């Protein structure tokens, strides 16, 4: 098969630091190419170079065999190279159809042909097996729907090369299936595809060719079937990954948190749960089952929630985040960038924001600096300087900073929502070990995760949510994917659906 | 490799350049009498702009401060005049008047803040509304004319604006103290840190258990209090208030904040920058009046250019940040 887009000996420096060392890489027509590696391995930089957003310091980008110096993303797009970024590139106040045809509007004379654009957008979305209304505003769409619009937009541009950064990270299992079907269809049509993903099962399912990056160099190449998921993980981190999950060896103590009939309007109905000292309680369920809403309600972040809640027997008022904080409840959001960290502020200011009252009326900067030093060591935060903005950290280090920030409030009960979303394998392991250590120290931990292996590997007990209710509980050795999926899908779910869910937890 | 950060120091360099230009154009510029005059006039806008820095940094805006000052000046004068038959012409009456001004400012700030944080209406809309309300009320109270302070009280009250320690008059001293306190609050207290956090991302602040609505409310009350303080110093200057008192003060205050390097979208506040911004604006005015190089009527145009330039500089800074 012919190579459409190629990197030849590409090196890239940021200032004095070389982050890519002589990369050779070819995207072929009708082939899906997966680029995998830990956070900071250079995946994003490669994608940006391929998509024309960055120029290589040395080496060349070749399109159809001849040097192509794209000066910008739009220029690359005009020549058939389209990148779908993780941060969506959509105008929130325009409609779906407007967005898909933004910059290439269909016209009739000098007027916009809204009807034709709506029809064409509708056809594209139908091909993607979604029910998104072309007239809907992006603002009103869920994250997965926005992702589908991004894909539809790329398809409408007749891409010859389609590059996707973590395309399934925000999708539910049904949409993931539609995405895979589209990938298969595009491959059959001769499009050259590339994606990067932290989900190795996805890589095994989709990729015809796999390139593994580590520290800015290609360390391994394989074609379909040549590499198991274990081998991919090993190649990425450069060491054997044994004992991925720490042993569940904590002794469970007395009841720490008791929640009775907690309801959040429109999201959670009459949820009750207990959490013990030293326990890791998992909450599983499909996206939209009310898991995040339940956790946020426990942390006092959901106005209008009703029910009863006690911590160590003391009643805690609901919908009052400061009262929950005083009772020792802390919540680690799944939305690091929008609700977790101030991306433009220095690391230190982020670290101490939730616990600022511990640093005196006149903020003690020296104490803050010490806290930052301690956190850097304890959580292994890899940062150039404590004064750098939090947004410049890699995803894994942002998550560690968020953990450090939460733990600085010295909570007894820690609710962690999607602890490892978008994080590389090595950092995942550190975070799992950390969660276990917190439990061993006598904290009560609630972990919400869409990745079933994570829930199963971490939790002593798992609550499964379905449509806003707690559908059931599994404990001990009976925590299996099957047990959880049955509860998550409802007992009457047909076998195919259940198996499907098994493969692709949303 | 440590380059001079022109974004940070730009306003300061501009101010120094202005002082040098002023001194070269007219030696009278640096005379104590002139400096005293310039600084004292800056004090009103300056006090308000310090409060405005907090409001803008937390992501808000207050357009009502000019009308608020006029309204407070109006009720303060009316209250003192009404008290003259009861308490007489003495400092007691003036102190009660000052308390009225302070209370009026705090109440007006609380009103703006409550509408914004409790009723959840956009700050622009709320303060556009109250701007009209206060302006109209003072015009109504003065019946379209001027409210004048009792002449005996005026004589007694005058020194509050016109005297002080040597040529450094009370308004200058007050402004300096408030500016130092404000800078300290922004940089070294929890309140300041929370204001910046809310302005950069209020959701992150809320998830970090910061009392977002409380801090926002407090910033408007603080601003209201400073408007009250500015009015206390303004009333003895003319001894009167009318429908045209404090017109466009809100825009001058906002302009000073922006020139000083605080971003209009919030998140980063620099009180010392605001002080520099206020001084730049009033010195341009003063220099144009002293030198006949350019018509003083072009003052607004030059100030406009400076405001736009300041924002352009901010934009360049952001582009470097994203690299």
DSSP bridge pairs for A414: A330, A445
Of B208, B267, B268, the CB nearest to A354: B208
Nearest to A374 by CA among A362, A358, A395: A358
* Alpha-carbon gap: B199 to the closest alpha carbon of chain A (Å): 10
Q: How confident is the model at residue B298 (pLDDT cuts 50, 70, 90)?
A: confident
Distance CA(A317)–CA(A306), nearest Å, equals 10
Over residues B171-230, the pLDDT tens digits come to 999 999 999 999 999 999 999 999 999 999 999 999 999 999 999 999 999 999 999 999
pLDDT of A1 reads: 64
Contacts of B193 in chain A (CB under 8 A): 349, 353, 356, 363
Helix H or strand E segment including B74: helix B65-87
Write down the ipTM of this complex: 0.85
Q: Which of A325, A335, A345 to mutate to test the interface with B (most CBs of B within 10 A)?
A: A345
Crossing angle, helix B212-238 and helix B91-117, to 10 degrees?
150
CB pairs under 8 A between A and B: 61
Of B203, B211, B268, the CB nearest to A339: B203
Distance CA(B25)–CA(B294), nearest Å, equals 12
**What burial class does residue A476 get, using C-beta atoms within 10 Å of its C-beta: 0-12 exposed, 13-18 middle, 19+ buried?**
exposed
How far are the Cα atoms of A107, A126, A146, B267 from residue A133, in angstroms, in the given order? 21, 10, 12, 36
* Residue of A37 and B103 predicted with greater confidence: B103
* Torsion angle (degrees, nearest 10) of CA A478, A484, A487, A491: -80
pLDDT of A369 reads: 94
Q: Which of A15, A53, A342 to mutate to test the interface with B (most CBs of B within 10 A)?
A: A342
Give whichever of A77-81, B26-30, B65-69 has the largest mean pLDDT: B65-69
pLDDT of B228 reads: 97
Domains and CATH numbers, chain B: 6-19+30-317 (1.10.3470)
Location of structure tokens 């104490």: A367
Distance CA(B35)–CA(B29), nearest Å, equals 7
Tokens of A443: 């904290």
Distance CA(A288)–CA(B92), nearest Å, equals 66
Tokens of A483: 């047990």
pLDDT of A239 reads: 61
Are the beta carbons of A356 and B207 separated by less than 8 Å? no
- DSSP letter for each residue of A266-307: TTEEEEEEEEETT-EEEEEE-TTSSHHHHHHHHTT-STT-EE
DSSP β-ladder status, A161-165 and A81-84: parallel
Nearest to B228 by CA among B104, B91, B87, B43: B104
pLDDT of A496 reads: 40
B321 has pLDDT over 80: no
Tokens of A291: 């898991």
CB distance from A406 to chain B under 8 Å?
A: no
pLDDT of B124 reads: 95
Are the beta carbons of B190 and A357 separated by less than 8 Å? yes
Distance CA(A91)–CA(A94), nearest Å, equals 6
How far are the Cα atoms of A365, A387, A405, B68, B261 from residue A349, in angstroms, in the given order? 10, 9, 10, 35, 20
What is the CB-side half-sphere exposure of residue A36 using CA atoms within 13 A?
A: 31
* CB environment A225-242: b (16+ within 10 A), e (fewer): eebeeeebbbbbbeeeee
Query: Which residue numbers of B have CB closer than 8 Å to A's CBs?
Result: 188-190, 193-194, 196-197, 200-201, 203-211, 267-268, 321
Crossing angle, helix B170-188 and helix B190-200, to 10 degrees?
70
3-state SS class at A328? coil
* Residues 6 or more apart in contact with residue A309 via CB below 8 angstroms: A257, A258, A259, A260, A262, A298, A315, A316, A318
* Angle at alpha carbon of residue A86, lines to A80 and A91, rounded to 5°: 80
Ranges A22-31, A193-202, B66-75, B132-141: which has the least confidence = A193-202
Domains and CATH numbers, chain A: 3-237 (3.40.50.300), 243-328+412-506 (3.40.50.300), 341-410 (no CATH)
Tokens of A70: 């794209």
Q: Which of B181, B190, B193, B207 to mutate to test the interface with A (most CBs of A within 10 A)?
A: B207
pLDDT by residue, tens only, chain A of 506 residues: 688 999 999 998 876 677 889 999 999 999 999 998 876 688 888 998 998 888 899 999 999 988 987 888 888 888 889 888 877 788 888 999 999 988 888 888 888 888 999 999 999 888 877 788 999 998 888 777 887 888 888 888 878 899 998 887 767 777 788 788 888 888 988 889 999 887 888 898 999 999 998 888 899 899 998 988 888 888 887 765 555 788 877 677 889 999 999 999 988 999 999 999 999 999 998 777 889 999 999 999 999 899 999 999 999 999 999 999 999 999 999 888 889 999 999 999 999 999 998 898 899 999 999 999 999 999 989 888 888 899 888 888 999 999 999 999 999 999 999 998 878 777 888 899 999 999 999 999 999 988 778 888 889 999 999 888 998 898 877 787 777 877 877 654 444 443 343 434 43
Crossing angle, helix B65-87 and helix B249-259, to 10 degrees?
130
3-state SS class at B171? helix
* Alpha-carbon gap: A332 to the closest alpha carbon of chain B (Å): 9
Distance CA(A241)–CA(A236), nearest Å, equals 10
Q: How many Cβ atoms from other residues are within 10 Å of residue A113's Cβ?
A: 15
Nearest to A439 by CA among A464, A424, A458, A426: A458
């Amino acid at each position: 098969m012919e190579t459409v887009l190629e990197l030849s000996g590409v090196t890239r420096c940021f200032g004095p630091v070389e982050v890519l060392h002589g990369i050779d890489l070819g995207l072929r027509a009708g082939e899906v190419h997966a680029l995998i590696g830990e956070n900071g391995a250079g995946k994003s930089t490669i994608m940006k170079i391929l998509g024309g957003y960055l120029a290589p310091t040395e080496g060349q980008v070749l399109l159809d065999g001849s040097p192509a110096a794209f000066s910008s993303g739009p220029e690359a797009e005009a020549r058939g190279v389209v990148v779908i970024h993780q941060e969506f590139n959509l105008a929130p106040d325009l409609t779906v159809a407007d967005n898909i045809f933004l910059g290439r509007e269909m016209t009739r004379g000098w007027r916009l042909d809204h009807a034709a654009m709506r029809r064409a957008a509708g056809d594209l979305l139908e091909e993607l097996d979604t029910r998104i209304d072309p007239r809907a505003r992006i603002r009103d769409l869920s994250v997965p729907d926005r992702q589908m619009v991004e894909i539809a937009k790329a398809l409408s541009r007749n891409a010859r090369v389609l590059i996707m950064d973590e395309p399934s990270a925000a999708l539910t299992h049904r949409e993931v299936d539609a995405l895979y079907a589209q990938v298969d269809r595009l491959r059959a049509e001769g499009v050259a595809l590339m994606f990067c993903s932290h989900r190795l099962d996805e890589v095994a399912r989709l990729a015809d060719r796999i390139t593994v990056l580590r520290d800015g160099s290609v360390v391994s190449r394989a074609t379909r079937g040549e590499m198991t998921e274990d081998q991919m993980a090993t190649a990425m981190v450069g060491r054997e990954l044994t004992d991925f999950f720490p042993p569940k060896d904590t002794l469970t103590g007395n009841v720490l948190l008791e929640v009775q009939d907690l309801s959040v309007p429109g999201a959670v109905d009459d949820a009750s749960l207990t959490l013990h000292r030293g326990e890791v309680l998992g909450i599983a369920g499909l996206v939209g089952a009310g898991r995040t809403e339940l956790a946020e309600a426990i942390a006092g972040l959901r106005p209008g929630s009703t029910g009863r809640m006690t911590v160590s027997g003391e009643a805690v008022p609901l919908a009052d985040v400061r009262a929950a904080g005083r009772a020792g409840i802390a919540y680690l959001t799944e939305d690091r960038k929008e609700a977790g960290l101030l991306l433009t502020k220095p690391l230190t200011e982020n670290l101490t924001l939730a616990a600022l009252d511990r640093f005196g009326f006149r903020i003690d900067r020296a104490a803050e600096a010490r806290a930052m030093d301690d956190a850097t060591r304890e959580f292994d935060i890899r940062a150039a300087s404590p004064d750098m903005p939090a947004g410049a950290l890699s995803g894994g280090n942002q998550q560690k900073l968020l953990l450090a920030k939460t733990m600085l409030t010295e909570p007894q009960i820690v609710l962690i929502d999607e602890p490892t979303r978008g994080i590389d394998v090595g950092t995942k392991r550190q975070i799992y070990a950390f969660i276990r250590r917190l439990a061993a120290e006598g904290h009560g931990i609630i972990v919400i995760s869409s990745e079933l292996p994570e829930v199963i590997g971490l939790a002593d007990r798992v609550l499964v949510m379905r449509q806003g209710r707690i559908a059931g509980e599994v404990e001990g050795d009976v925590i299996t994917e099957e047990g959880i999926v049955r509860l998550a899908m409802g007992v009457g779910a047909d076998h195919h659906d259940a198996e499907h869910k098994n493969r692709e937890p949303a | 490799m440590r380059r001079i950060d022109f974004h940070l120091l730009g306003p300061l360099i501009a101010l120094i350049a202005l002082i040098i230009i002023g001194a070269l154009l007219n030696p009278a510029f640096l005379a104590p009498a002139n400096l005293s005059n310039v600084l004292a006039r800056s004090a009103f806008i300056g006090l308000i702009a310090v409060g405005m820095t907090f409001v803008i940094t937390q992501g808000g805006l207050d357009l009502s401060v000019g009308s608020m000052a006029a309204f407070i000046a109006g009720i303060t004068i009316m209250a003192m005049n009404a008290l003259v038959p009861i308490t007489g012409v003495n400092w007691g009456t003036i102190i009660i008047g000052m308390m009225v001004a302070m209370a009026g400012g705090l109440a007006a700030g609380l009103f703006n803040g409550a509408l914004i944080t409790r009723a959840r209406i956009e700050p622009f809309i709320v303060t556009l509304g109250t701007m009209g309300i206060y302006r109209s009320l003072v015009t109504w109270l003065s019946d379209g004319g001027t409210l004048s302070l009792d002449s005996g009280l005026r004589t007694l009250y005058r020194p509050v604006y016109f005297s002080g320690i040597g040529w450094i008059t009370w308004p200058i001293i007050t402004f300096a103290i408030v500016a130092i306190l404000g800078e300290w609050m922004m940089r070294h207290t929890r309140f300041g840190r929370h204001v910046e956090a809310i302005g950069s991302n209020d959701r992150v602040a809320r998830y970090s258990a910061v009392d977002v609505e409380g801090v926002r409310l407090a910033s408007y009350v603080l601003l209201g209090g400073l408007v009250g303080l500015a009015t206390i110093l303004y009333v003895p200057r003319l001894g009167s208030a009318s429908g045209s008192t404090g017109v466009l003060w809100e825009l001058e205050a906002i302009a000073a904040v922006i020139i000083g390097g605080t971003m209009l979208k919030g998140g980063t506040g620099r009180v010392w920058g605001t002080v520099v911004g206020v001084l730049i604006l009033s010195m341009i005015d003063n220099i144009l009046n002293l030198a006949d190089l350019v018509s003083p009527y072009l003052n607004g145009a030059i100030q406009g250019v400076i405001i736009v330039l300041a924002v352009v500089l901010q934009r360049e800074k952001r582009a470097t940040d994203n690299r």
